[in-house]
Amino acid sequence: MRLVIFGRQGAGKGTQSKLLAEHFGVPHISTGDIFRAAISAGTEIGLAAKAIMDRGDLVPDDVLRGIVAERLAQSDAADGWLLDGFPRTPTQADDLDQIADPPLDLAINLEVPEDVVVERISSRRVCKAEGHIYTANDPSARSGICEVDGSAVVQRDDDTESAVRHRLEVYAEQTEPLLARYGESNRLVTVDGAGAVADVAGRVVTGINDGLAR
Ligand code: AMP
């Protein structure tokens, strides 16, 4: 099973991806998580990406190509993967066509209206170690300590209002047009991402199974 998940920031991609990856037994590969880990580790890529990410801009395509090609070549990705946050530009979609062998099976579009996502992002909190996601009112967010791994729970540096607005613009301009491309090759599944996490997860799995059967 080779999948990518699309959706504007705050649509629930990270949360749904973790559930989906578990359900289908494939690794969840989030390019944003890879960059955040690189920043924490202080690597060269992390240092270069930090300022770009904090502004809400995109890291250059050639950097992504190398990272994704290397990650998909690892043994845990031999039988499938779920990509979250890649591709984000037409060049990245071309690169994925070249890298993915066997090719991508389906693209999932998690659809949530813009006013709902702005609200969700402003209350989003994440843990530093593994990116577990909380809302501001969850006990882990209130205590500042992740209930799963004990690391600090913080607001992402790029979840500020101005960076969020810019990221939504970048998504609309550069990423959303890619959906048509997957639609044309009959590989697009669109799912309503509003509502409770478990309900959305059920709709996503049904959508994927229907998409694979057609
Ligand atoms: P995300 O966690 O997917 O929202 O990604 C956070 C940030 O990481 C983005 O706003 C970009 O700055 C950077 N990033 C993640 N994935 C990509 C990508 N495929 N192309 C360019 N930049 C990316």
Where are the extended beta strands (E) located within the chain? Answer: 2-6, 28-30, 81-84, 106-111, 124-127, 133-135, 153-154, 188-192
CA 132 to chain centre: 13
Provide mean pLDDT across the span 27-41.
Answer: 95
| Residue 121 pLDDT exceeds 90 | no
Provide mean pLDDT across the span 117-133.
Answer: 89
Domains of the chain and any CATH numbers? 2-213 (3.40.50.300)
Annotated binding site for ATP: 10-15, 124, 133-134, 195
pLDDT band at 60 (very low <50, low <70, confident <90, very high): very high
| Residue 101 pLDDT exceeds 90 | yes
| Active-site residue list | 13, 88, 124, 156, 167
- pLDDT tens, residue by residue, 135-186: 999 999 999 999 999 999 999 888 887 888 889 999 999 999 999 999 999 9
Supply the pLDDT for residue 114.
84
Which comes out higher in pLDDT, residue 25 or 9? 25
| Residue 30 pLDDT exceeds 90 | yes
Q: Is 81 in the pocket of ligand 1 (CB under 6 A)?
A: no
Least confident of 123-132, 159-168, 200-209: 159-168
CA of 56 to the centre of ligand 1 (A): 8
| Residue 102 pLDDT exceeds 90 | yes
Q: Is 201 in the pocket of ligand 1 (CB under 6 A)?
A: no
pLDDT band at 115 (very low <50, low <70, confident <90, very high): confident
The pair of structure tokens assigned to 186 is: 């009959």
Question: Can you tell me the distance from the alpha carbon of 27 to that of 22, in angstroms, rounded to the nearest whole number?
Answer: 8
Tell me the CA distances in angstroms from 199 to 30, 60, 96, 190, one per residue in order. 22, 36, 30, 15
| Residue 75 pLDDT exceeds 90 | yes
Q: Is 7 in the pocket of ligand 1 (CB under 6 A)?
A: no
Atom of ligand 1 nearest to the CA of 33: 2
Question: Can you tell me the distance from the alpha carbon of 189 to that of 185, in angstroms, rounded to the nearest whole number?
Answer: 11
Exposure string for 94-128, b = 16+ CB within 10 A, e = fewer: ebbeebbeeebebbbbbebeeeebbeebeebbbbe
Question: Can you tell me the distance from the alpha carbon of 116 to that of 153, in angstroms, rounded to the nearest whole number?
Answer: 22
User: Whole-model pTM?
Assistant: 0.90
Question: Would residue 139 be called left, alpha or beta, if left means φ above 0 and alpha means ψ between -120 and 50 degrees?
Answer: alpha
Supply the pLDDT for residue 160.
80
